Amino acid sequence: MPGPRPLRPGEPQRLGEYRLLARIGEGGQGVVYLAENAAGDRVAIKVLHPHVARDAEARERFLREADAAMRVAPFCTARVLDVAVDGDRPYVVSEYVEGVSLEELVRTQGPRVPGALDRIAVGTVTALAAIHKAGIAHRDFKPSNVLLGPDGPRVIDFGIARALDISTAPGMVIGTPAYMSPEQLSGRPVGTAADVFSWALTMAFAATGEPPFGEDNHTAVMYRIVNSRPRLDGVPQPLRTVLERCLAKEADERPTAAQVLDMLLGQGGAGASGPGPGTGGGRRPQGVGGASVAFPGDVPGGSASQISYWPKARPARPEDPPGPRSAHGWPFGPLAVSVTLSLAAAARAAFWFRPAGR
C-alpha cells in the first residue's frame, strides 16, 4: 500500500482548524487525508464525497452517529477526535495510526502465524466490545478496517457505515460482500451480532489468506454466506471453534463480542452448546495465544442492500442439481439475487468498571 500522496489540484488545503498535508486514500464513502491540528499533532480526516453528503437527512445522521462514536472507550480503536462540517462537506477527525492494514499485510506477506494471529484476534474483539458498549454497531468490519500500528491493532471507521445507510438502487451493495453477515444480505435488522460474524470472517482471512466464503463472484459469495458452511481449513484451534460459533447463521445464536473475548482468554466455554449467545456449560478450553503484549513484530519495521430473503440456511443435498463451481470448489447455480493478553484483560476490566459518563 503506498504511503500518503500529495494533494491533488483543487483539493482543499484546510478544513476548519486542520491543515491538510497529504491524501491517504479514497473509498466509496469519501477521501481520507493526513492532516495536523493547531498544535501540530497528526490526525486522519475522512471527508464525505459530495454525492454522499448532498442529502441533508443523511448528512445530519452522519454527524449524529459520528458524534456518538466519540464516546467509544479507546481500547484498540482509532479514537474519533472531532466531527464537523466545512461548507456542505461533513468530515470526521480521528487518531492517525501509522501502519498497514490487515488486508495489505496478509496479501503481501501471507497469513499470520499463531501468536501474531492471537494478538490480532484479542485486540480487535476488545475494540468491538468497546464499540458495542457505547451503543454502536460497526456494520463494516473487514480486514481493511483493521490497522496494525506499532502498539497493536486498531479498528477504524466504526459507526460510519450506519451513518451512511441511505437508500440505494435495487441490487446495490454497500459494503464488501465477503465480510457481510446473512442479515445484512437479506435485508433483516442489523445489530452488533453482525459485527461478530464479520469479525470471525476477518480472523479467518488473517489465518488462511482468504475469506471463508470466497471472494470471486459477488452473487455466489452472498449465496454461500446465507446457505453454506464456512471453509475454516487452516484456522488453528482453539480459535477455529470460536469462529464457528461466531459464524452461526442466526444472529441470536452468536456470542457477543465480550463473550468472545472471554473465550479467547480461556474464561468462556468455546465448545459450549445450547440456545442463546455465549451460553452453555461446556468445558473451558485453553485461551488462544499466551504470548506477550509486544506487537512490533507483527508489522514490518515494528513501527443493506435489499436482496431476496433466504428463509432457512441449509447444506447442499445430494438431490441438488449440479452446477458450475468456483475455483474454491463451492457450487453455485443460476441464482437470482437483487442485491494482547494481559493488556486485554486490564483493558476489559477498565472497560466494564469505568465511571459512568466517561
Distance CA 101, CA 114 (A): 18
Lowest mean pLDDT, pick from 59-73, 153-167, 230-244, 322-336 = 322-336
Q: What is the pLDDT of residues 174-203, one digit of tens each?
A: 568 999 999 999 988 899 999 999 999 999
pLDDT digits over 85-104, tens only?
Answer: 887 788 889 889 888 999 99
Q: What is the DSSP string of 334-345?
A: S------THHHH
Neighbour tally for 290: CB within 10 Å:
11
Higher per-residue confidence, 212 vs 175:
212
pLDDT of the residue at 350: 41
Supply the pLDDT for residue 56: 73
b/e burial code for range 221-235 (CB count within 10 A of at least 16 → b): bbbbbbbbebbbeeb
Q: Which one-letter DSSP state was computed for residue 331?
A: B
Sorted by where each starts, the structural domains of the chain and their CATH numbers stand as 14-95 (3.30.200.20), 100-353 (1.10.510.10)
Among 24-33, 164-173, 238-247, 282-291, name the most confident range: 238-247
Instruction: Categorize the per-residue pLDDT at 55 as very low, low, confident or very high, splitting at 50, 70 and 90.
Output: confident
Give the model's pLDDT for residue 329.
Answer: 40
- Looking at the whole model, is its pTM more than 0.75? no
Residue matched to cell numbers 501502519: 99
Tell me the average pLDDT of the chain.
74
Residue 25: pLDDT over 90: no
Comparing 56 with 307, the larger pLDDT belongs to: 56
Catalytic residue among 82, 118, 140, 262: 140
Q: What is the pLDDT of residues 120-161, one digit of tens each?
A: 999 999 999 999 998 888 888 999 999 998 888 999 877 555
pLDDT over threshold 50, residue 38:
yes
pLDDT at 51 over 80: no
Q: What is the mean pLDDT of residues 68-82?
A: 77
Tally of CB atoms within 10 A around 146: 27
Q: Are 283 and 306 in contact (CB under 8 A)?
A: no
Give the closest residue to 63 by CA, choosing from 328, 296, 225, 55.
Answer: 55
Average pLDDT for 38-51: 88
Q: Are 124 and 144 in contact (CB under 8 A)?
A: no
pLDDT at 61 over 50: yes
Q: Give pLDDT, residue 66.
A: 72
End-to-end alpha-carbon separation of the chain, Å? 36
Q: Residue written as cell 491493532?
A: 153
DSSP character at residue 213: T
* 291 and 306 Cβ atoms separated by less than 8 Å: no
Q: Give the pLDDT band of residue 327 (cuts 50, 70, 90).
A: very low
pLDDT, tens digit, 9 for 90 and up, residues 244-254: 999 999 999 99
Provide, rounded to the nearest whole percent, the portion of the chain with pLDDT above 70. Answer: 67
Task: Report, as an integer, the average pLDDT of 45-50.
Answer: 85
Whether the CB-CB separation of 100 and 1 falls below 8 Å is answered with: yes
Calculate mean pLDDT across residues 218-244: 96
Note if 67 is an active site residue: no
